[in-house]
Amino acid sequence: MNEERIKNAIRVILEEIGEDPDREGLRDTPDRVYRMYKEIFSGIGSDPQDVLTAVFHEQHKELVIVKDIRFYSVCEHHMVPFFGKAHVGYLPDGKIIGLSKIARLVDIVSKRLQLQERMTQMIADAMNQRLEPKGVIVMLEAEHLCMSMRGIKRPGSTTVTIATRGIFDTDENMRKRFFELIK
């Protein structure tokens, strides 16, 4: 990121919406926005699989789920936040992963301009490629501020997206089991 270009762009935006970027409350805003962008877009250019370290050989044969993983992302259409919870499950086939790595995966995928649908797919694909499990299922539930505070103005509405791989594509009982366990 080019710090000066971002700060200058924020000054221009402030001026164009009718604000004075030199007034007391806004004087440091371009710098604060730059530092915020560095943080909330830190996943850009990162390979999601890179955080999926700590893989162990284990003959666990039952469903593994990490649920209610909080995430915050930014919609690429309006550049406003969307936020919610991710639920990630997989059926191991000889390999398991450190549980915190699943939360890190959600985090790195969310820290970029994003679409919820793409984010769901990226998490499922990374888990599937790194672990080669019998199956992966990912469900995201999120509120999009582009729907809550502008446009249709429906605060509290939730968007749900699901991605399945392997056995979760074909076995209705496995999908049902996942949904029962995350509720």
* Binding site, annotated residues for Zn(2+): 75, 78, 146
Q: Considering 60, 77, 117, 129, which one is annotated as catalytic? A: 77
Q: Considering 19, 141, 143, 146, which one is annotated as catalytic? A: 146
Active site residue 117: no
Whether residue 95 contacts residue 57, with contact meaning beta carbons closer than 8 Å, is answered with yes
- Token duo for residue 119: 């984010």
First CA to last CA distance, the chain? 40
CA–chain centroid gap for 141, Å, is 10
Rg (CA), the chain: 19
Binding residues: 75, 78, 146
Q: Considering 3, 58, 76, 117, which one is annotated as catalytic? A: 76
Helix (H) or strand (E) holding 176: helix 172-182
Active site residue 116: yes
| Positive or negative: CA dihedral 133, 137, 143, 147 | positive
Active site residue 57: no
**Which residues does 79 contact at the CB level (< 8 Å), separation at least 6?**
113
| Three-class SS of 31-46 | HHHHHHHHHHCCCCCC
Active site residue 60: no
Active site residue 76: yes
| Residues that are catalytic | 75-78, 116, 144, 146
